Amino acid sequence: MSRISKLPKIATKENHPLNRVNTRLIGSGLSELDRKNLLTNHTRPLGNAPTTSVPAQRLKRAATVPAPSVPAKKNKVTVAPKIPPYDYKARFNDLLEKHKVMKSDFIDLKDKHGEVAEDYEKVKNSVESCTSERDMLKEKLLNSLNDLREKCSEHDRLKLDFDIQKHENEDLQRKTKLLEEVTTSLKQKTSELDRVQTDFNNLTRRHSSLREEIEALRVLSDHLKRISVEYDKLQLDYKEALESIKKYKGDAEALQNMLASMYKEQRDLRNTIQDLKGNIRVYCRVRPPLESELNKPLFNLNVLDACSIDVEKIELLNSARKGKHSFTFDGIFTPHTSQEDVFNEVSSMVQSALDGYNVCIFAYGQTGSGKTYTMEGGCGKEQYGIIPRAFNMIFTCMEDLKRMGWELTIRASFLEIYNEIIYDLLNSSKDQMNHEIKMVDSKGTDLYVSNLKQEEVKSSHDFIRLMIFAQRNRQTAATLNNERSSRSHSVAQIKISAINEKRKERYTSNLNLVDLAGSESGKTTQRMDETKHINRSLSELSKVILSLQTNQSHIPYRNSKLTHLLMPSLGGNSKTLMLVNINQFDNCFGETLNSLRFATKVNSCRIIKAKKNLSMVDPL
């Protein structure tokens, strides 16, 4: 009984955690009604115990069967018929019955007890583990509490620190802001300072430059003062000089007149000498062998004096046959005579052109005898031939003439006569125009070539440029027309127009500088045509000169282009200079002899006294 009475006690304490476990465990086996019945049956006195119709099996089943089915049966409990007290037998049977029931209940309960004990053990174990767990948790809780406490105190400390830090931070922020403001203002001040420094530097520089300027101005002012004094002095001198100039001007004019008349006298004298020398002059120039020709045999040439030579073929030297040929000219230029010496000798002819006479200088000789070298020259000033030197002389004299009141205009043209056709060497175009020799006026004293380019030349440099241009044109034509340069006559024409406004005089003159074609006779049929033309023009030249020599009424100028062109320079009013060029090669002896003979023929001719082309200028 005591063991059973404990059960309700456990069941009532529901709030205790252990009881809760027990209730759960018990609850899972007994329903609430079973428990009540159980309690009623076990707590009721045996005699008064109400009989229930619930069989023992039902109780047993009730421990396992779910509770809801039980309350329905509660209403069906039937009350057993009351046994009279005297009916001991019935009572005994009843008691036996009860005992049986109780015994089976007891067995059930015992089983139940076993189960409960088992459950209890489990619960106990569970309680123990829970207790140890609780202790552990308690300890943990205590530790946690301690930790929490520590953390709290640390938190407080940290909070305090944080507050301090916060405060300090705020303080720092305030200070930073202040510092930033100070920095910004410092930056502004610095940039201002830089600006001020730059201004200061500029001002310093300006100051020093101004100081220099002031110094320069001071020097200038001193200088100006000195100049002013000098200027005053000069003013006085100037006045004196003006008076002197007036006096000198009169003297200069007188001197200029004197100079002009002296120049005229000198010119007349020069021309008298020229006349005495003859208006046709012939010089012979012997060219030296070139380096490549040093081994070539030479014929014998003796320069007897300044004007005479004799030549003799080398094979006849020791023979009994006399083969010596002597020639006399106005001058002989040996192989050693320089270009300058040659020009000095012929410069009087250029002077004559400047004095107003028509002049013709031509080089005659066989191909390769040095005609072009004599007339045009080689490279470099020293090698300049007659043509460029004549121009230099003209421009030098122009200055002297200017001082005497003469204004000169020089025009130049370059032409070539090949196979009786005139070619303009200043016209580089392939299509040459037709060139005719025409009279300038009805008097027929002056001629011109139609469609021929005539360039005004202002300096000797201009002239050299034109000459080179003409030379190139001639070379191009020569390349196109195999050796044409040797087979054509080249003429540089210089027209001089002079005017003296003061003396009311003017004149024009022509200077013709001619490099004749090679005089040798043609050996091949290919050259026959050219040779025919050359020989014709050269023989016509010889005829003209002979006709002039013999004072013929008709001079056959028009028989060839060359003589026609040179008419004004060959006729009465002209001076002619012929340079016969020869070389000394033995194989050229025949041609040399021919050239020397032709030159002798020309030399024997004396043209009538030349007349200056002077005329009065119309009054201005």
Q: Which residues pair with 284 in a beta bridge?
A: 332, 580
Chain length of the chain:
620
Subset of residues 510 to 529 that bind ligand ATP, contact rule: CB under 6 A: 518
281 or 287: CB nearest ligand ATP: 287
Nearest to 426 by CA among 391, 461, 471: 471
Query: Does 364 interact with ligand ATP (rule: CB under 6 A)?
Result: no
Query: Does 37 interact with ligand ATP (rule: CB under 6 A)?
Result: no
Query: Does 372 interact with ligand ATP (rule: CB under 6 A)?
Result: yes
Tokens 């090698």, located at residue? 383
Give min distance, CB of 591 to ligand ATP, in A. Answer: 11
Which of 35, 371, 435, 575 lies at the binding interface for ligand ATP (CB under 6 A)?
371
- Grouping H, G, I as helix, E, B as strand and the rest as coil, residue 510 is strand
CA atoms within 13 A on the CB side of 519: 31
In degrees, rounded to 5, the angle at the alpha carbon of residue 280 between the alpha carbons of residues 422 and 411 is 45
Q: Is 368 annotated as a binding residue?
A: yes
Which of 370, 388, 568, 571 lies at the binding interface for ligand ATP (CB under 6 A)?
370
278 or 289: CB nearest ligand ATP: 289
Stretch that binds ligand ATP, among 218-226, 299-307, 371-379, 409-417 (CB under 6 A): 371-379
Nearest to 395 by CA among 478, 463, 468: 463
Query: Does 369 interact with ligand ATP (rule: CB under 6 A)?
Result: yes
Query: Does 367 interact with ligand ATP (rule: CB under 6 A)?
Result: yes
Give min distance, CB of 355 to ligand ATP, in A. Answer: 29
Cα separation values, 586 from 210, 287, 332, 354, 583, Å? 88, 13, 19, 41, 9
Contact predicate 507/613, CB 8 Å: yes
Residues 167, 171, 173, 179, Cα dihedral to 10° = -170
Query: Does 378 interact with ligand ATP (rule: CB under 6 A)?
Result: yes
| Token pair in block for residue 169 | 């931070």
Subset of residues 285 to 314 that bind ligand ATP, contact rule: CB under 6 A: 287-288, 290
Query: Does 60 interact with ligand ATP (rule: CB under 6 A)?
Result: no
Query: Does 338 interact with ligand ATP (rule: CB under 6 A)?
Result: no
Cα(173)–Cα(17) distance, rounded to whole angstroms?
59
Give min distance, CB of 370 to ligand ATP, in A. Answer: 3
Contact predicate 451/434, CB 8 Å: yes
Cα(27)–Cα(33) distance, rounded to whole angstroms?
11
Stretch that binds ligand ATP, among 154-162, 181-189, 369-377, 447-455 (CB under 6 A): 369-377
5 or 482: CB nearest ligand ATP: 482
| Token pair in block for residue 178 | 């202040």
38 or 470: CB nearest ligand ATP: 470
Query: Does 331 interact with ligand ATP (rule: CB under 6 A)?
Result: no
Nearest to 364 by CA among 109, 596, 33, 46: 596
Query: Does 388 interact with ligand ATP (rule: CB under 6 A)?
Result: no
508 or 584: CB nearest ligand ATP: 584
Which residues sit in the known binding site for ATP? 365-372
- Interface residues toward ligand ATP, by CB under 6 A: 287-288, 290, 365, 367-373, 378, 485-486, 518, 581
